[in-house]
Every structure is written in structure tokens, then in C-alpha cells.
Structure 1
Amino acid sequence: MCGYQWLAALLLVLCVAAPASADRVLVVANLDDPIQLSREQVRNLYMGASIGWQLTPLALKPSNHLRSMFNVQVMGLSEVRIQSYWAQMRFTGRSRPPQEVDDEDALLERLLQQPRAVGYWPAERPLPGALVVVYDGS
């Protein structure tokens, strides 16, 4: 393995070996009728595919730590791979990436204001009662 592959493998092992309760990501939504989504449905939603519900995915900026955790835990893809996918989709005019917000406070504000909005949230932070967990990954 070259240096970068070794480093990537080490980081993956460290992420998998981390305690389950620490840095766990929930997928939450502003919904009147709660639904449960599978990991595949969440991934499809964030990759621009239809999943049978009219939901609007929201994302944090690429440099955000919570986004990195979401990419690893839920998407199963690196940020570089996701950016490459969206570059292709934009170039071909097939789809647009999720709307981005600056930070977790802005994400929470948008989730609370926008019905049917979906976002990711750290499991250790309290979740306002107006939002429901649609995927918890455990």
C-alpha cells in the first residue's frame, strides 16, 4: 500500500473502532407524519434520487466535521467522491446537490422553518420537539 492508502485505511479503522455513542449522526426531518428511512433511502435522497417522498435534503458546508461524519457513517463515501459525483450531475444537467447551510445553528433554523426538510444532527445534542428522527443508524 502506498502512503495515502495506508493512511486512509488507518482512518477508516479508527472511525469504525470509535465508541458507538460518540459522534453518532442522526438524520432528522420537519414532518407532520413521521417516517422511517433506510440507509439506502437517505443515501439516495442526498444523491438526488427520488425515494417516494417529497423531502428536501439540507447539507452543511464540506469543511464541517458533522458533514464528514455523515459522509462516513451514512453515505459510506468520501467528500471527494461526493463532490466528483455532483460535478458530473451538474455538468450533465441531471440533478443539483442538496442546499448547503453554513453551520449547525443555521441548519437547525432551516429545518425548523422549512416543512419536509431533512438534515443530519449529532446524536449527543438535544433535538427540538418539532423535529423527528427518520434514520438513526443503530
Structure 2
Amino acid sequence: MEVLDKKGLINLFMGKYSAFPNGKQATPIDIEVEAKLKAEFYQALVGLPPARVNAYWSRLKFSGRVKPPEIELTIDDVKQRLEEDESALAYVYESYVTDKMKVVYRFD
């Protein structure tokens, strides 16, 4: 996976697609305890606060056709997952990026 455009990122995090453009499985991940980071991410991604994103997923879960992002409890859990699982896709502050991770999108 090289890079994603914003539309591709939206499609993965909002459940429209479950694979990267190259066809490999994608596993979007939300961070449970980093409320500020999650709020900043979804505001930049789709212009919605987490409460509205959660409501969106509550409606879609009943259809059974789409799966919301997986939840990791801490930023350290996300960091480990990103380093070990090439299907993992998550948002982190740039200071958390390591050489074992691939940055696929940056917000301006």
C-alpha cells in the first residue's frame, strides 16, 4: 500500500470498503481512550464529532453488511497493532509514527 486519498480513507473508516485499493484486506482501528485524537480525526475526515460518527455506526450495525472500525484501548495498543499487522489502519499523532509503520495519508 502506497498512499490513500481522502475519499479512500473515508470509504475505509466509514465502512464502504473493506480492502485497500490494491485489494489487500484493511482493518480500520479506532482508539478508545484518546478522545481528543479521535475527535480531531473524524472532524478532519468527515466533518463530524465522534458522537455523530457513533450514531452513524449504530444505525449501520443493524444491517449486518458493514463492520465498524475495531477498537483498541490505548495509543500503545494501536502502535503495536500498526507495527505488527499490515492490514491495520489507524490514526495517530505524527510523533507516534515509527519506521515499522507506513503513513498512507496526512491531513494538512
Which consecutive unaligned segments of at least 5 residues does structure 2 have? none
Which consecutive unaligned segments of at least 5 residues does structure 1 have? 1-33
Counterpart contact for 2:26–2:89, Cα < 8 Å: yes
Counterpart contact for 1:62–1:79, Cα < 8 Å: no
Q: Structure 1: which 4+ aligned runs deviate by more than 3 Å?
A: none
Question: 1:42 corresponds to which residue?
Answer: 9
CA distance in 2, matches of 1:128, 1:63: 19
Structural mapping, 1:120-135, within 5 Å: 120-123=91-94, 125-135=95-105
Q: 1:75 deviation in Å?
A: 2.8
Identity across matched positions, percent:
27
2:5 counterpart letter in structure 1:
S
Q: With the length of structure 2 as denominator, give the TM-score of the two structures.
A: 0.85
Q: 1:43 deviation in Å?
A: 1.0
The number of residues matched between the two structures is 104
Question: 1:27 corresponds to which residue?
Answer: none
1:103 counterpart letter in structure 2:
T
Counterpart contact for 1:47–1:97, Cα < 8 Å: yes
Larger strand fraction of residues: 1
Q: 1:126 deviation in Å?
A: 4.4
1:60-102 Cα deviation digits (max 9, x unpaired): 1176211111011123222122111111111121212110011
Please tell me the root mean square deviation across aligned C-alpha atoms, in Å.
Answer: 1.7
Q: 1:72 to 1:63 in 2, by over 3 A?
A: same
1:55 aligns with 2:26: yes
Point out which structure has higher relative CO (alpha carbons under 8 A, 6+ apart). 1
1:65 aligns with 2:31: no
Q: What secondary structure is seen at the aligned counterpart in 2 of 1:133?
A: coil
1:49 counterpart letter in structure 2:
K
| Residue of structure 1 aligned with 2:56, choices 85, 92, 98 | 85
Structural mapping, 1:13-32, within 5 Å: none
CA distance in 2, matches of 1:121, 1:63: 10
